[in-house]
Every structure is written in C-alpha cells, then in structure tokens.
Amino acid sequence: MNAINQSGWKPEMGNADETTPATFTGNKALMLEEALIFEIGTAVTTGVDLANPPKVAARLGNLERYREIGLPGLSEPETVRHYTRLSRQNYAIDLGFFPLGSCTMKHNPRLNEKVARMAGFADVHPLQPIETVQGALAVINELAMWLIQLTGMHGVAMTPKAGAHGELCGILCIKAALAARGDPRSVILVPESAHGTNPASAAFAGFSVENIPATSEGRVDLAALKARLGPDVAGVMITNPNTCGLFESDMREISDAVHAAGGYVYCDGANFNAIVGRVRPGDLGIDAMHINLHKTFSTPHGGGGPGSGPVVLSEALSPYGPLPYTARNADGHYELIEEEPAQECHPHSFGRMTAFHGQMGMFTRALSYILSHGADGLRQVAEDAVLNANYILRSLEDVLEAPFAHSGPCMHEALFSDNGLAEGFSTLDIAKGLIDEGYHPMTVYFPLVVHGAMLVEPTETESKATLDQFIGALRSVAERAKAGDPSLKSAPHHAPRCRLDETQAARKPVLVWREPEQLVAAE
Amino acid sequence: MRYLPLSPSDRQAMLGIIGVKSIDDLFVDVPAQARLDGPIRGLPNHASEMAVERHFSTLARKNMTASQHPFFLGAGAYKHHVPASVDHIIQRGEFLTAYTPYQPEIAQGTLQMLFEFQTQVARLFGCDVANASMYDGSTACWEAIGMAGRITKRTKAVLSSGLHPHYVSVAKTMAQYTGDTLDTALPHLSAKTDSVRLLDAIDGETSCVVVQYPDILGRIEDLSAIAAKAHEHGALLIAVVTEPVALGAIKAPGDMGADIVVGEGQSLGVGLQFGGPYVGLFACKEKFVRQMPGRLCGETVDAQGKRGFVLTLSTREQHIRREKATSNICTNSGLCALAFSVHLTLLGEKGLRGLAQLNHALAVQVADRLTQIAGVELVNDSFFNEFTLKLPKEARPVVRALADREILGGVSLGRLYPGTDALSMGLVVAVTEVVTSEDVETFAVALQEILA
C-alpha cells in the first residue's frame, strides 16, 4: 500500500499572513465572542408571550416571592443568537473527528432524534394509566429484549440513568444477593486501569475496594487475582475490553475462579462497542454489566449527558434487580411492575433507583439504532471499530510508544504513552497541538497504568480518509513534541481560547456570576 | 449500511497495512468458545430509515399524548409549553454531539452555558452556588442526603411525609447500604403538613431534614421554623423542588434558611418524555461546595487573560478521587440543563413570574370548579399549580374511567401509595398554562358523571 496516503488529504494553504490586525470588537469574522446572559439580558425582557392570568385571590400560603430573583430575559432573536454563538465555540462529532478513548464518540443518527420526538413518546406522562402508554412500554420491552439477546444474559434492569448509575445498580444486586444468603463479604476487587466510577460505585455501596495488578501485557494478572480471592471478596469489577484497549482473554477463567470462591463478576460495559454482535458477555460468565446507550448505541452525549445505563444480569442476580420494570403478558398487554405487584412477583428486588421508569428518550434512540443496523450491521460495527483502531495503532507505533502493541491486536481503541518525547514535553502538549490541527484530542492521562496515556478510539463511523488525515496530523504533532518545538508548549493557538488557568479556577472558585458591584463589595 | 463509511476495498487495504489477512485475526484474543459465529438470534438484518420510522410510528400511536387530550397530571413531572426555539437550540450538533467539556479551549460553548445554568439555578433556589446538573430530582435528593451526612458526620435523616414517594423509595434503597437511618412517614389527606413531626424528630443525631416544597399533595408551607430548629441542633435543611416554575411565585427555599436545595428541572425546557431523561438541580450554601457531588463549572482566564470557563474542583470527583469521591456520578444531564437554561432565558424574570401567576390562577379556578361536584373536597389550604382532591370513592379506578373517556385526569394517590387505604381516595391534580377552559369543563363533567 502506498504509505503516502497516510498523510491524508491536505487543504490548499494559501499565503499565510501573520500580520492580522486587531479588531474593534475582538471578534474575528466568523469567530464571535459572546457575553453572558446576565450581561445582556434584563429583568423586563422576555421571549415568550403569555395570556393574562384570570383575577383570583391567591392561595399561596402568604409565601409570595417579592424580592427580585435576578433572572435575565432575552427576546427570541437574542436568545437564538446567544446560543448559536456559544454553540460555535464547541467541538462536536458533527464537526469533526472526536477520538476520545472509552467514550465512543460515534455519529448520532438523526433518525433517532426524529423518533424520540414523536409525540407518542415525548409527550407522555410517566404516571399515566398503563392502558394509555402501551406503545411506550412496548419500546422499553423491545429494547430490553434485544439487550438481553445481544449480551446472552438472563435479565436487564432498564432504569439506571447513566453508566455510573448502572455500575451502582449491578453492585447493589451483588450486595442484595450476598445479603440474601447471609454472606457478609465486604471487598470488591478492581483493576488499576478501571474507570474511576468503578471504585467510586463500589465504595458508595459500602464495599472496600482493593486493586488487582496488571501483567506487563496490560491484562488482569490472573494468578494475583486468584491468590486474593477468598471468603471476604464479594466480587470483581472488570472492564472488558479493558481500558488498555485489550480483550481480557482470561475472562472465562476469571469468572470461574471468582464464582468458585463465592463471588460475583461485574463487567464495565463501557467498551462494548468492540464486541457487539461478535461476543456475548453472558458466555464469559459475567453476572452484571452496564451498557452505556450513549456509547455503543449512539444516543448523543449532549455535552455531558443525559446518558442511560441499563444493566444486564445473570440468572443469579436477576431476582435482585431494581423496580420498576416492564413485562409482557401472554395476551400481548404490557405491564409496569412497580412497588405494588412487585411484592408478589419480584419480592427480592433491592428497590428503586430513580423516580419513574428510566431514560425513555434514550430508549427510543437506542432501539432505533439497533433496528437500523440489525444483526449484520451491529457485527460490522464491532469489526469496523476494531479495524479502525488497529489501523491507527499500526500506523503510528513507529512514532509514538505503544506500550501494549506487542500484546497483539488492540480492540476498539489504541493506547500510546508519552515516553520518548523531548525533555519537558508531554501528552498535554500533543493534545493541545491536535486542537490546532482541528481535532478533538484523544483521552489523555487515562488509564493511569501508562505514563502520559493517550487513548485513541476512532469508532466505526469514520472513513479511511478521515483516519489517514488524523494519522498524518498526529504524526506531525508527535514529531514536533519529540523535536522540542517550543510553539507546541503554548498550543492551542487557533482555538477560541488559549490554555486556561485551571489552578486559579480551583483556588478561588467562581461558580456563579455576580454583578460587578457585588464582586467589589465582596473583596 | 448508511452509518458505516468503510468500503470493502478500504477494509482490505487497511487489513494489509495492519499486516493481517482477515478481520478474524484482530479478534484472536477472544477465546474461540466466546466468539459468536452466527447472527444475534431473532434480530433481523439492517433496515431502511423508512422501515424503522414506520415501526416507531405504529408504537407511538398506541400512547395517549398530553397535548391532544385534557391533561391534569403532575406529581413530579409537569406539562408546560416549551418554546420552539428551545428544541432548535438543543438540536444544534455543536451542543447535541459534544462530549463533557474536558478540553476547555474547544468547549467554551458548553462551559459558558453551564456557568449561566449554575447561576440561574442558584438564584431561582435562593442559594449561593449550584452544580452543572444531576440525573434527576430523585437522585439529586439522595445525593443531598449523602452530602449532609458528610458535612455533619451524622447518619439520621428526617424525611417529610410530603416528599415524593419515589424520592423516598430511592433514598430508602441507598440507605440500606450506607448505614443511614431514615425517619419517614406517610402523608395524611389534610391541609396540615407534618412539620410538627419534623420539629419533634430533630435532635443532636440528625444530619438533615428533607422537605418538599410545594409537597407531593401540592401544599406550601414556610420552611423557616424547620430551618431554625435544624440549625439549632447542628443539622441541615434540604429542600426539594419538583416544580421550579413555582419559584416564580413563592419564596425561594434558600431565602427561608435551606442549606441545600435540590430539584427536578424537567418542567422547564425538557418535556414529559415518559419519565426521562430529566435534569437534577442541585444548589447549596457556598461553604459546603467542596462536599457537593457532580460537575462544577468555574470562571477563569486563559493565557492571554481572556475570560473563559473550565470544569473545576474536580478533586471531589471519581475520576480523580476514585473510591474517596463525593459521588460516583460522571455523565450528568448536560443537554437537559441546556434546555432548562434556554427556556429560563426566554422567560426571564418577567416571563417566569407571569407564567407562575398564570399557573396559579388557573389552578385556583380549576380547584373551585371541581369542588362544585358533590362529594369532592379540596384537601389543600395553600397550593401553587397542583392540589389534592378527596373524592367520595377510590381515585385509581376513577382515573382509569377518565382515561376511557380520553381524559388524563390527574394522578391517584393509590398509584403513588399502593395499599394505603387512608390515601386511596386522594387525587392529585396539576393545572398549567396548557389547560384550556374546554379541557376543564370536559374534565369536570366527566368526573361528575363517573362519581355519580
């Protein structure tokens, strides 16, 4: 193959002009600065027209709010412009390549947005009589069924609101199962390479957390794990594929060993995208695994949520899953099992994790994604995601250290370290250099087991041309970091902001806007 | 496959550069017995956009929608008119398809929006600071109880009987595992809340008192006395707001002494969505900020001195502190926070107050109309846009009978408190600006017939 293709498509550069004059406004053509709503809105401006209220005697218990709240209003045109300008300060998957490792930033199909907005799903109250929401319950039930099929598990808890909430759900199932047999096990084993949510979720449920070491291959040290198992170990939390981008090839043995020692196996399913349609976690002996619908099943990340984290459960843990859940009767009628009937048909449930019934708006999108891809498409998703990641790994391992490249193919993400850069240069500089090149950086400094980790997850929705251009750009930035190019230390140069002072932000936190005179008074 | 750009020849070329023969060579680390050779059982192959849309249209038609029927449900989720521009803005790809703003230089849009959101929430709740959102009101409520425990180093939480029963259930679930004890009670169909019970229960062991405002039956009461008693004993007052529009008409909990105010932000911008995704609101006094859960956005400057925003105080959070974090939360509800913030910006002070007045006035009218029906009594002395009726018979079958007439006529307390006979005749009715006078008459006439 012609290696020159790896530098990818390049735009015409034109004549670079370094003498750009300052502007009166501070704006730069399409790059528009935007004030805060508190600086441009007023208490008397509004962007909505309301009917006049009928005259009645108030029954507010003498608690009328007279003092000004301090909420600025904008007219509709000002509002639309404000947020449109803000939006243009954001990088997004719609705009470009977003290889954030372990976050699965894939394309968000717009059909999914359309179906989620159908009035029959979006304009329905969660406490309507069950007879009036049969279609909504059917969606939840259908998605639940496919999640069970895709994972080869026994049951699924649909209500968890995000990945970490799902982790907590799985951990509470384990806790409830142990309690049911009167077993006071109190330790959860977690690999060092785990997401921070894993130990946090286990600790939240009252477990103590111990680390499992990794081998030099970047996988769980099976011998060390077996040595630690015992009557105090409630279970393990394993991410598979793991955060080094590798499949835990001993997973079945890990599960068998944990089960033999009386514990349970939790799998962090954040990286399910690598194996969807090709591997069923249920065949690996897993007892509980959350699925980030906002990763594998393409529901939009929305600048930090909402997510959705259904948890598939083994036969051993299913009886302890949370309320409520949906069920289909023999006559095709859908039920919602809430607190009342649960006393008879789901008596061991650990209880409720959230008001209402979960992230319906995410369920419609995820189901739309699954049906659009189908069995053949989902398998192709995993294959292309893994192919793209290996392509990046092998195209860059000569310029960036890839600590586990010798361990075999990676799964859906490629891991590099910052070893070998010039003195004083690190992963951060590479990340900021990539911003100038028009990319969102990869995940940096995670997993913690690798020095200056750079975790690149391309996903399956990127073309070869996109990957080629990215490979060329990362190669160029890496070479600058190895050569000690000082301009990289002050990157990004072309973003809406230069590097921001995070130390100042944390030392003297300013978390809300205050009127300038209030600030002066507070000094 | 419309979502997959690689062509067969791309794949071949890439396999060549990687140095393997087939895609299976990239899955060698998966043990053979764990590889799925055939397709997923029962799942058809890929489908066209049209076919998928048709499937969903069929299912959507089986639900009774709020906008097309007389609609009076509340109890923690409210139907308000959401301006068209809100959905337009949240569908901009730069917001919709961005990630958590880990790289602030290219995420100032989300960060500035969150800073504005935090300020709006803090002001609405009468608090010093607010975070960048939680999953929803019920989980925010639980997190607040946990936070009060960390601050006071005590484990007894006293929950008002007017707290939404789902929120109580969530707190009970978590308390089973954290060693917290919860002092709870069921509400009574009475105009009086259980504030006397709360005042009696507060002692030197109490970490917090949790009061919903307005409460599950719609009642509103001054929180000052509870705050004072709590503070006297070194405990915190947590106020829970499930209908933030109310705060355009009634005093903010923070102004009555609440230390932590949490809430459900769904009623502004988000819509009903059959229960989710919603957005948890979380605000508190400044001195407690380091014990707060969740993301926080803060103001700073960049290397050239320009104002900018970053995620801050992350040493509280799981990705830094791991098992010692204040919460395990990671993904929150960013896009719903945007919807909330846009809607509140469109309203502004004037619009929110007008909307609140309109809601209250309509609710007063509807309460008066429905209590003209023989045997129907109003439980509340005070309320905002939601009140509880005591019917002359069990309310749950009445709600079903109304649904048979295509009227969505409130939430029965039998649904919320199954098996509690003393509450079974209670019907919680919410009235917002979307209710028309025809809706009210249709509802009233049907209710009268069903009760006759």
- Is B304 in Cβ contact with A352 (below 8 Å)? no
| CA angle (B227 as vertex; B224, B230 as ends), nearest 5 | 150
The two structure tokens encoding residue B304: 């050239």
For CA atoms A366, A367, A373, A374, give the dihedral sign.
Answer: positive
Do B162 and B383 contact (CB within 8 A), yes or no? no
Residues of B in contact with A306 (CB under 8 A): 135, 276-277, 279, 331-336
pLDDT per residue as tens digits for the range A18-27? 567 889 988 9
Which of A41, A53, A87 comes nearest B348 by C-beta? A41
The pLDDT of residue A3 is 42
Q: For all residues of chain B together, what is the average pLDDT?
A: 96
Contact criterion met (CB < 8 Å) for A247 and B30 = yes
Q: Which amino acid is at B150?
A: R
Task: Say if residue B182 is in the same domain as residue B273.
Answer: yes
Cα separation, A201 vs B292, in Å, equals 16
Q: Encode pLDDT of B128-162 as tens digits.
A: 999 999 999 999 999 999 999 999 999 999 999 99
| Chain A residues touching B169 at Cβ < 8 A | 323, 339, 351-352
For residue A1, what pLDDT band results from cuts at 50, 70 and 90? very low
Q: Which of A146-150, A170-174, A445-449 has the lowest mean pLDDT?
A: A445-449
Q: Do B360 and A53 touch (CB under 8 A)?
A: yes
Mutation target among B145, B193, B217, B328 for the A interface, most CBs of A within 10 A: B328
Domains of chain B: total? 2
Task: Judge contact between A269 and A102, C-beta under 8 A.
Answer: no
Task: For residue A410, give how far its alpha carbon lies from the nearest alpha carbon of chain B (Å).
Answer: 7
Name beta bridge partners: A208: A187
Residue type, B139: T
Domains A113-366 and A376-505 share a fold: no
Please say if the pLDDT value at position A185 is more than 80.
yes
Summarize chain A as % helix, strand, coil (round to 5).
Answer: 40, 10, 50
ipTM attached to this prediction: 0.97
Residue of A436, A428, A420 whose CA lies nearest to A482: A420
More confident residue, B36 or B65: B65
The first and second tokens of residue A194, run together, are 């785990």
Is the CB of residue A81 less than 8 Å away from at least one CB of chain B? Answer: no
For residue B239, which amino acid is it?
A
pLDDT band with cut points at 50, 70 and 90 for residue A15: low
Chain A CB contacts of B49 under 8 Å are 111, 372
B441 lies in the same domain as B393: yes
pLDDT digits 0-9 by tens, A320-352? 999 999 999 999 999 999 887 777 788 999 999
A284 close to B (CB below 8 A): yes
Instruction: Answer yes or no: do B220 and B369 share one domain.
Output: no
Higher pLDDT, B419 or A460: A460
Alpha-carbon distances, residue B308 vs A504, B105, B247 (angstroms) = 12, 8, 30
- Final residue belonging to a domain, choices B286, B311, B343: B343
pLDDT tier at A16, thresholds 50, 70, 90: low
pLDDT of residue A14: 61
Tell me, yes or no, whether B300 and B355 share the same domain. no
Closest chain B residue to the Cα of A202, Cα to Cα? B323
Q: Which residues of B touch A378 (CB under 8 A)?
A: 40, 43
Q: Is B67 close to A172, i.e. CB distance below 8 A? A: no
Question: With contact defined as beta carbons under 8 Å apart, do B137 and B278 qualify?
Answer: yes
Percent of chain A with pLDDT strictly greater than 70: 95
CATH 3.40.640.10: does it fit domain A113-366?
yes
Size of interface A-B (CB pairs under 8 A): 726
Nearest to A120 among B65, B89, B275 (CB): B65
Please report, for the domain that includes residue B96, its CATH number.
Answer: 3.40.640.10
Confidence of residue B44 (pLDDT cuts 50, 70, 90): very high
CB B376 within 8 A of CB B425: no
For residue A523, the model assigns a pLDDT of 53
Measured distance CA(B379)–CA(B428) in Å, rounded: 10
Note whether B338 and B429 are same-domain residues: no
**Min Cα–Cα distance to chain B from A231, Å:** 20
Q: Which of A288-292, B102-106, B330-334, B401-405 has the lowest mean pLDDT?
A: B330-334
In B, which residues are within 8 Å of A175 by CB distance?
Answer: 177
In a domain, B318, yes or no: yes
Report pLDDT for B415: 96
User: CATH number of the domain that B439 lies in?
Assistant: 3.90.1150.10
pTM of the model: 0.97
CATH superfamily of A376-505: Aspartate Aminotransferase, domain 1 (3.90.1150.10)
Distance CA A431, CA A441 (A): 5
Last residue of a domain, one of B343, B376, B402: B343
Spell out the domain ranges in chain A: 113-366, 376-505
pLDDT reported for residue A339:
81
- Give the mean pLDDT of A418-436: 97
Pick from A1, A67, A90: which is nearest to B13 by CB?
A1
In a domain, B57, yes or no: no
Q: Domain check: are B353 and B206 in the same one?
A: no
Interchain CB distance below 8 Å, A373 and B380 = no
Of A71, A90, A305, nearest to B94 by CB-CB distance is A90
- CA proximity to B72, closest of B445, B433, B450: B433
Residues 360-399 of A with CB under 8 A from B: 360-362, 364, 368, 370-381, 383-384, 386-388, 390-391, 394-395
Which residues, including other chains, have CB under 8 Å from residue B396's CB and lie 6 or more apart? Answer: B412, B414, B415, B424
Angle in degrees, 0-180, between the axes of helices B334-370 and A76-87, rounded to the nearest 10 = 150
Q: Which has the minimum average pLDDT: A444-453, B259-268, B388-397?
A: A444-453
Q: How many angstroms separate the CA of residue B369 from the nearest CA in chain A? A: 13
Q: Do B20 and A133 touch (CB under 8 A)?
A: no
d(CA A421, CA A435) in angstroms, rounded, equals 18
pLDDT beyond 50 at A204:
yes
pLDDT value for A519 = 67
Cβ contact (<8 Å) for B56 and A115? yes
Domain boundary among B343, B369, B390: B343
Which residues constitute the domain of residue B409?
A: 349-451
CB A372 to CB B33 under 8 A? no
Residue B399 and residue B300 share a domain: no
Residue B38 pLDDT class (50, 70, 90 cuts): confident
Q: Is the same domain home to B197 and B113?
A: yes
For residue B1, list chain A residues with Cβ-Cβ distance below 8 A.
Answer: 373, 376-377, 380
User: pLDDT-derived band of residue A8, with 50, 70 and 90 as boundaries?
Assistant: low
Q: Are B173 and B312 in the same domain?
A: yes
When pLDDT is averaged across residues A241-269 and rounded to a whole number, the result is 96
Task: Please report the pLDDT score of residue A153 as a whole number.
Answer: 97
Distance from A477 to chain B by nearest Cα, in Å?
A: 17
Same domain (yes/no): B236, B297:
yes
Cα–Cα dist B339/B337, whole Å: 5
Do B270 and B360 lie in one domain? The reply is: no
**Which residues are CB-neighbours of B27 under 8 A, at least 6 positions away?**
A247, A278, A386, A409, B35
B334 and B363: one domain? no
At residue A2, the pLDDT reads 40
| Cα A496 to Cα B314: distance, rounded to the nearest angstrom | 23
